[in-house]
Structure 1
């Protein structure tokens, strides 16, 4: 017997084999047990979580020869044929390949017939959101009131694209993506049954790469087994996925904690030599920071990874402060967000790591002392500017004393772990020194100076000192005559133009060339059927601008290798050497031989261009639509009884 891939070999055959999705399995099992069966079920969720599998299990429970049951026997003919995919009363339809309304009508023509072998005729429609709007409309009535022997099982990855009328006729079950532990445990069970050696780290890497999909996890496992020659190790899986092991991101975090910039850049160079993905480096580093934060919050948390890095993570959790950890996490998270904007991805990673280093407490403490010794705020007078000699300031001796007190306060605060607390203590000591410094006697109350804490307040104080009584004569407001409001001849034309735009006639003119998307497609298809040149353009792989050249010209074939395009003179600006070259190359590729192309201007109305064909077809459809509405009996009755008038200019084909 040929080899069967793991994803098919280990497909669940009973409800208890399904991983997760208990909220769906419980509802279906209870419905089967009490025979409270709906006629239509909708299963939604991401790829590989069990939508089609659960639908087949439901079909097996409905058609088992032992009766409707939540635990089908798996031994009868019906169960075996459903497992093998050849049960005659289970009709599986791929909606992605049968989107037309004709396919749906053909399907519904056989609904009325009774099942041949089973108890129910089950229609399993996969990727149902791919059906067209007309197909959904054709399905509505049958989906609402199907025969008693018919059940509809719909599966989709995008339920938002389904019409509300379809959703309201179905029982909806949303399947959740599986978490890493669920996938890892199932992989362990499968690999043990297959007698394949594996380690915990390898299974976790596969579970993360699967991104919630059990089918993807089994497919990746097949690939890893083939690469490892029957063994599954973390090195093989990392090599296959192009990911890093935990050692390198952990060493980067340890270098960040030590503020060792050279070691950080050396580790980045090692990552570059292995050709790993840069975004994956940030993701792995962020994942380890998250684990460290969880260990800080829950130190008694059981080990999720029995590898050697767990002890190193716990050591980091005890040595790094939670605030610094959050700063590192935020810096790397922003770096990942801005990675696509960096000139190079490696440059973006390096700048993210340097940003994290810039906020290290060691860097902050070393840079703060020069900025701590600042001149005190100089008070500014409210009515006059105080001279520099009268401003209270600290002398050189007082500055030295203040600096000594700051250094003493920094030294005594070494027991405080947070660098922010050290900075606050240093600032408060300097503030107290400035407040206790001697001040000169203050002047009288009228000339008392008000402290200004910002340049904005100084600007306001200076502005208040300006004399407000002086106003130039040239700026005096002139009296406004009442007659000035009577003459509005200049605005009358503008108002007339604006009002003319909103007339019904102008709206009709603006919408005259508006066409629906369905009508546009019909015009293109019919023009291809009538004009061979339009059909040939549809097969060419050319840019839109070059396509406009071809659509606005008709073709003249001089011989087998020479074509001449007659371009309308109104579109002469489209003709260029590059467009002509691209069109000639596309024609050569289509015909399989070199084509010599020339373009001339020609306004001969006897021969239509592809765009003129579309316009002509549109006029034909418009005439047919007018004739159909004019001859409609309902329209004629309205005209006779209510003296209604038909606005023929508003008629549009569909």
Structure 2
């Protein structure tokens, strides 16, 4: 007898054999036992997940001589005939090669005739999304008023191409991608039954390369068995799938860590010399770092790892690398992968990427700043503890003991940041709404011109008042206001950016949100007192102006004669 592929020999013959689709098989089994069979089903999902197999099992179960049953017996004449394809009442129709309306009508003309060998006529239409619009219309009429003895099972990988009028008349079941562990368990059963010697790591590699499809996994396993001699090894699986060994990936990532460009390029030349696909290689490298990121952030989710195996080299590398560096590596690899898709010379982009990966600089400045801040905080805490100990021992610490020239010490004292109230009042006296609107209109563009570290200080800040030569920025947090106003480079960069946008150089005055409220209220009360001294009968003469100031604030009311 001619040799048959593994996926044909081991095609599921019962719902129990359908791997990874328990949500579908359980529902169909309950419907069979309760005799609640629908006239039309729609099986959708990726390739190789069991759609057509489940359709044939359902056809056997409804026509089994032992019905109602949850599983076909596979021993009666009906089950054997459907399995062998000798019963004409169960018809498999390929819509990909028979998409015209005439071919669909030839099939539907026979629907009205009663079945001859079994209880139900079952029409399994594979790749139903390939039908033409006219063929769908012809099928729709039959689905609207189907005979009692007919069941339609539609299978597709692209349900979005099927008209909604067809979908609404079917019970829809979505088949999922099968997990790698479920595929490995199924392949273990197959190799044990067939007597093939196979490494478990080779099965894991094949399962991950199958990307959730059982048929693809069995096809790759068939190839690996044919390629190997006596035992299917991991190297055999890597050769068949075109993947790169983890040892090679470990070697290459070590070159990235050591910033060894020559070793990285030599390893790439060796890889391409053995016929590996550059596109497949960069995908393996992305998955490698993706798994490393998941392992560092969620080490208990081992099932989510797609490409790596937890060997000693990988564990040592995962401990030494930082999460921020992994983000940079994945971002660079993703950009390279996109560029490789639209070029005839992917090797060039891959070599450039290898050089960049070896020369990539982790954001050491940010890390150093973070470490310096943490050191300063620990030093401040240490000094405060020493100060408390001195006070407890009776030593009096006076302000005169500090050098008078150290003015910044006042800002870091327990009183917090002290805004320049005099400058703020001067700006408020000359503030106009037009000046404020001008700055607000250019605020977003100004932020985009700043460095990220400078723009971060203004995340929760906004301009609240402006005059012709200065403006006030309100900060939500006092620490951000203090950091901004003590950073001369930040002030210079911000004023220069505004100068380019508004055409004039403005002075910056910062104030925390908590202190801004009290400063503004104090200024308004002073202004009202001055107005009362200068003209007591102003309210009587112009009550509408007084009322407007009460409602909107004096700084927002402009009086035009």
Which bracket does the TM-score occupy, shorter chain normalised?
0.5 to 0.7
Say whether 1:331 aligns with 2:332: yes
Q: Where do residues 33-44 of structure 1 align in structure 2 (5 Å cutoff)? A: 33-44=33-44
Q: Which residue of 1 aligns with 2:194?
A: 194
2:351 is aligned with 1:350? yes
Partner deviation per Cα, 1:330-367 (whole Å, 9 max, x = no partner) = 22222222223567322212322333344334xx76xx
Q: 1:201 to 1:167 in 2, by over 3 A?
A: same
Choose from 370, 385, 408 the match for 1:421: 370
Q: How far has the Cα of 1:130 moved from its partner?
A: 2.0
Cα distance 1:230–1:2, how it changes in 2: closer, same or farther (>3 A)? farther
CA shift at 1:78, angstroms? 0.7
Question: Could you tell me how far 1:243 is from its partner in structure 2?
Answer: 2.3
Contact 1:42 1:154 (C-alpha < 8 Å) held by counterparts: yes
Q: Is contact 1:282-1:336 (8 Å) kept?
A: yes
Deviation string, structure 1 residues 55-102 (Cα, Å, up to 9, x no partner): 110011111111232122111111111111112321221222322322
Q: Decide whether the 8 Å contact of 1:44 with 1:158 is kept in 2.
A: yes
Matched, 1:23 2:23: yes
State the distance in 2 between where 1:111 and 1:343 align: 52
For 1:311 and 1:159, how far apart are their aligned partners in 2? 45
Deviations, residues 588-620 of structure 1 (Å, cap 9, x unaligned): xxxxxxxxxxxxxxxxxxxxxxxxxxxxxxxxx
Offset of residue 234 of structure 1: 1.7
Q: How many residue pairs end up in the alignment?
A: 399
Task: Tell me if structure 2 keeps the 8 A contact 1:93–1:124.
Answer: yes
Separation of aligned partners in 2, 1:39 and 1:308: 47
Q: 1:115 to 1:325 in 2, by over 3 A?
A: same
- Given that 1:29 and 1:70 are in contact with CA atoms closer than 8 Å, whether structure 2 keeps it comes out as yes
1:110 aligns to 2:59 (yes or no): no
CA contact (8 A) 1:246 1:309 kept: no
Label 1:169 to 1:242 Cα distance change in 2 as closer, same or farther (>3 A): same
How many Å separate the matches in 1 of 2:333 and 2:325? 12
For the 8 Å contact 1:206–1:220, the answer to whether it is kept is yes
Asked if structure 1 preserves the Cα contact closer than 8 Å seen for 2:208 and 2:306, the reply is no
Structure 1 residues 132, 230: closer, same or farther in 2, change over 3 A?
A: farther
CA deviation vs aligned residue, 1:255-299 (integer Å, no higher than 9, x gap): 222233332223223223323222222222222222222332244
Point out where structure 2 has 5 or more consecutive residues left out of the alignment.
Answer: 378-404, 409-422, 427-468, 471-487, 507-561
Please name the residue that 2:413 is paired with. none
Q: Residue 523 of structure 2 corresponds to which residue in structure 1? A: none
Cα RMSD (Å) of the superposition?
3.3
- Do the aligned partners of 1:123 and 1:152 also contact (CA within 8 Å) in 2? yes
1:134-153 to 2 correspondences below 5 Å: 134-153=134-153
The aligned residue for residue 389 of structure 1 is none
Distance apart, 1:18 and its partner CA: 0.6
Q: Bigger radius of gyration, 1 or 2?
A: 1
Matched, 1:239 2:239: yes
C-alpha spacing 1:210/1:60, structure 2 compared with 1 (3 Å): same
Q: What does the per-residue CA deviation read over 1:449-488, in whole Å, with 9 as the maximum and x for residues that have no partner?
A: 99871344666899579xxxxxxxxxxxxxxxxxxxxxxx
Which residue matches 2:215? 215
Q: Match of 1:43, SS?
A: strand
Partner of 2:181: 181
| Structure 1: runs of 5 or more not aligned | 369-416, 429-434, 439-444, 466-654
| Alpha carbons of structure 1 residues 313 and 142: separation in structure 2 relative to 1, 3 Å | same
Shift of 1:140: 1.9
1:153-207: CA deviations, max 9, x gaps? 1112222221122111111111112122222221121111111111123212222
2:270 matches 1:321? no
Q: Return the TM-score normalized by structure 1.
A: 0.56
Cα 1:436/1:71, change in 2 over 3 Å: same
> In 1, Cα distance between the equivalents of 2:503 and 2:141?
81
Where in structure 2 are the equivalents of 1:517-528 lying within 5 Å? none
Counterpart Cα distance in 2 of 1:6 and 1:424:
62
* Paired position in structure 2 for 1:613: none
Structure with the bigger RCO (C-alpha within 8 Å, sep 6+) is 2
Rate the CA distance shift 1:301–1:135 in 2: closer, same or farther, 3 A. Answer: closer
Equivalent runs, 1:224-263 vs 2, <5 Å: 224-229=224-229, 231-263=231-263
Contact 1:183-1:217 at 8 Å conserved across structures: yes
User: Equivalent residue for 2:71?
Assistant: 71
* TM-aligned CA deviation for residue 227 of structure 1: 1.5
Q: TM-score of the superposition, structure 2-length normalised?
A: 0.64
**Equivalent residue, structure 2, for 1:126:** 126
- Kept in 2, the 8 Å contact 1:259–1:360? The answer is no
- Label 1:248 to 1:33 Cα distance change in 2 as closer, same or farther (>3 A): same
Once the two structures are superposed, residues 77-135 of structure 1 have per-residue CA deviations (whole angstroms, 9 ceiling, x without a partner) of: 11111111112321221222322322222222222221111111111111222222222
The residue aligned with 1:292 is 292
Answer yes or no: is the 8 Å Cα contact 1:44–1:174 preserved in 2.
Answer: yes
Q: 1:192 to 1:305 in 2, by over 3 A?
A: farther
| Offset from partner CA, 1:524-550 (integer Å, 9 cap, x none) | xxxxxxxxxxxxxxxxxxxxxxxxxxx
Deviations 1:6-43 (A, max 9, x none): 11110111111110111111111111000011111111
* Aligned pairs (5 A) from 1:581-596: none
2:206 aligns with 206
Contact 1:115 1:121 in 2 (8 A): yes
Secondary structure of 1:154's counterpart equals strand
Residue 167 in 1 paired to residue 116 in 2? no
2:279 match: secondary structure? helix
2: distance between equivalents of 1:38 and 1:239?
46
> Take 2:276 and 2:407, find their aligned partners in 1: how far apart are those partners?
61
